[in-house]
Every structure is written in structure tokens, then in C-alpha cells.
Amino acid sequence: MTQTPACRVGLVGTGFLARTRARCYGQLPGGGAVLKAVTSRDAANAQEFAKQHGVEHVSESFEALIARDDIDLVDLCVPNHLHRPFTEAAAKAGIAVACTKPLTAYVGQDLTEPFDDADVSSVDPRQMARVAIQDASAMVQACRDAKVPLLYGENWIHAPSVRRAEELLRAHKSPILDIRGWECHNGSHSPYSKLWKYTGGGSLVRLAAHPIGAMVYLKEREGLAATGKPIRALSVIADTANPTALLDGPSSVAQGWVDVETWASVSIAFSDGSRGLALGADTMVGGMQSRLVVLTGDGHLECNISPYDALKSFGAEAQTFGDSYVMEKAGTHAGWNTYLPDEDHSSGHTSMCADFVAAVREKREGRSSGDLGLEVTRIVSAAYCSAAEGRRVTLDEVTP
């Protein structure tokens, strides 16, 4: 029996997300992926990362990495402003691309240097939308022209609970009437998250983008199964705020946000008349909560992505179970906790990386494709316009 060659992965970045990806590729059965090379702005970080995760080579730059002849897939775990140029360069080199979410966002890429932080966040949201959507469209087109997959890093649709919900919905007669989802925690890992020029927004683009991606995916699949045509998002009405500004003094919720929102809600109108409601907030202590609820005429599905309560524990004090990892954003080890048996699996990251590898091998689009990333960019961009203008905004209004 001929063994399928391993997918040779080049990782770009060495931060929190890159470490997650490295673990997941390393867990794939049968040597499905090999970490061939890594690159980072900090050479010492890259060397240490390679040692920790068994990466075979360290490349001195992104350009050096994609110039190698032994890379099948580059996984971009880099800031938003690098997504388009890195994707276009990799595609031109004939290499498949996996890009973290958001696919693109507005981070001042149309401004002339030098410019201040405030110059970015003060740009009209309509202009922000045009630039972000143009960038996302260019990434999709670059990979399409090069005939390589563009894979979008939306782990929610790969989570076991969401995949099982998708299977149940396929066997279901009643349409989806209402989808609600949220991701909330007490603040981002990254200090860069507090400035628009690095992230392209706050809790809407960082957190609410997850449930938005899952909603779009499930409604598209529903339409394809029923009529052969996807059900699309048509318009949104949104609200954003910064309630963490109320805090004065020590708090378990992150502070010091500069020009981005820490709370956002988006109501999505779909082409069949159904509705979606997404929430993202940096206001929740006690660990990250990621939930998706799907309501039909005679069905009710709840996907608990995090916390995943296969194992619950009670510790009388913080050191009852030593320094054992609980879950992302857990504030204390004392009291009741949810020790995740395998967070990479329950969050969908491992299955997502497996699908990335399969898509490259089979020369096909992934379950979470660049087209999904583009649609999420359109929705998030329209949502920022809606929040600024105080009215419902159609996606066609903001799409160049």
C-alpha cells in the first residue's frame, strides 16, 4: 500500500496561535503533516520555537521560507496587515495558504507613512470597509488564479459540537429560523489588540467573527442542501461600545483599551428571512465562553465549544491541582473549574488543521475557505458601518 506523502508546512509567526497550530499539525495521525520550516521577526524566538515543536528548519525571512522547494502549505499566524501581501506572494510561488481570522481588516493600509494611531481609527468606516473587502477579494483571487487553496482559520466550524449539529441539521426537515452565538472572555492575550492599527477593530472582529463565521457556514450549507443555492447574509444592524471604560482600579477584566470596542453585537438578516445574532465581549471573567445556539421549527441545538464540560473539578484552594492548565482565560484554579481534556480538539483546531492538510493533498477548497473569510469580512465591515451610522446596512452597500 502506497503511503500518502506528508504535507510539508511552513509556519509564519511564533506566537500563541502558531504554537496552537504546531501542536495540532503534530497530532495528525500517520505523519499527515511535517513542520518543515518556521520564520519570525525574532530569530531567537524562531530557533526556540523550532526546538520546542520539532520544526526541521528556521528560515531567516518569509521570503526565504516561500523560496524553499519543500513547502506545500504556509500557515500565516501574523498581524492583519501582512495577510494580503504574504498570501499573494505565497500563491505566486505556487504554495497553498492558511490564514488566521480575520482574513483581512482595516489597519491603515491605504494611509501614507508616517501616521499616528488615531489616524487609523478615525478613518470613515465606509472607507475602512472598501479597503478591507478589496484586500480579502484580492487574496481569494490570487489563490484562485494560482490554483492553490486559500484556507480560512475559522476553528468553530470544525469543533466536534458544531460538526455534529451540522449532521443533525442535514437530517432535519425544518429550516433554521434563528442562530445565536457569542464568544466572551476577559480580554485578549495580545497588547496589540488594544489599538485599531494592529487589529482592525476590537471585540467585533476578534470575537464576534467566530459565531458570524459559523452562522454563515451553516446557512450556506442549509441552502445548498435544500435548493442547490446558498442562503446569504443580506444586511446587518450592529452596536459597539467600551463598557470596560467604567472600570477604575484593579480588575480581572483587561483595561487600557485605546481606540477599539470591548463589546459588540450584530443582528444579521439572511436571504430566506431568518436571523442571526452574534455577540463578542471582553467583559467576562471565569474563562472563555464560546457558544452557538441553532433554533428550528421543532429543534433546538446548543453547541458548547468552550467551556467543554467533559471534566469538571472543584478545588478548595488555588493550588489544589498544582499549576495544571484549566482552559483559555481561566482566572483562578480555586472553586469549580472545567479542566479541558483536549482543548485543541474540542475547539476544532486539530480537525481544522487536518482539513487544511487534506485540502492541500486533494487540491480542493477547505471546509473553511477563503470565500467564507471574505463573507465574514463583508459582514464585519458592514457591522462597523452600521454601528457608526445607527441604522441597518446592506452588504452590497459596502462591497466595492
Q: Are strands 73-76 and 7-12 parallel, antiparallel or unpaired?
A: parallel
Which of 126-130, 153-157, 192-196, 336-340 shows the lowest mean pLDDT across its residues?
Answer: 336-340
Cell of 22: 504546531
Say which CATH superfamily domain 156-344+380-398 falls into.
Dihydrodipicolinate Reductase; domain 2 (3.30.360.10)
pLDDT over 70 (residue 229): yes
Q: Where in the chain is the domain with CATH 3.30.360.10?
A: 156-344+380-398
As a whole number of Å, the end-to-end CA separation of the chain is 51
Q: pLDDT tens for residues 381-396?
A: 999 999 999 999 999 9
Q: pLDDT tens for residues 231-249?
A: 999 999 999 999 999 999 9
pLDDT over 60 (residue 199): yes
pLDDT score of 328? 62
DSSP state of 155: G
Beta bridge partners of 96: 73
pLDDT score of 172? 86
Q: What percent of the chain has pLDDT over 90?
A: 84
Q: Where in the chain is the domain with CATH 3.40.50.720?
A: 7-155+351-365
pTM of the model: 0.92
Task: Please spell the DSSP secondary structure of 287-305, one letter per residue.
Answer: S-EEEEEEEESS-EEEEEE
pLDDT score of 1? 42
| Strand arrangement of the beta sheet that strand 96-100 belongs to | 57-58, 33-39, 7-12, 73-76, 96-100, 150-153
Q: Rank 120-129, 182-191, 310-319, 332-341 by mean pLDDT and report only the highest.
A: 120-129
Assign a CATH topology to domain 7-155+351-365. Answer: Rossmann fold (3.40.50)
Task: Please spell the DSSP secondary structure of 37-104, one letter per residue.
Answer: EEE-SSHHHHHHHHHHHT-SEE-SSHHHHHTSSS-SEEEE-S-GGGHHHHHHHHHHTT-EEEEESSS-
Among 104, 108, 116, CA closest to 140: 104
Other CB atoms within a 10 A radius of the CB of residue 172 amount to: 18
Rounded CA separation 347/343 (Å): 6
pLDDT over 60 (residue 42): yes
Q: pLDDT tens for residues 43-85?
A: 999 999 999 999 999 999 999 999 999 999 999 999 899 999 9
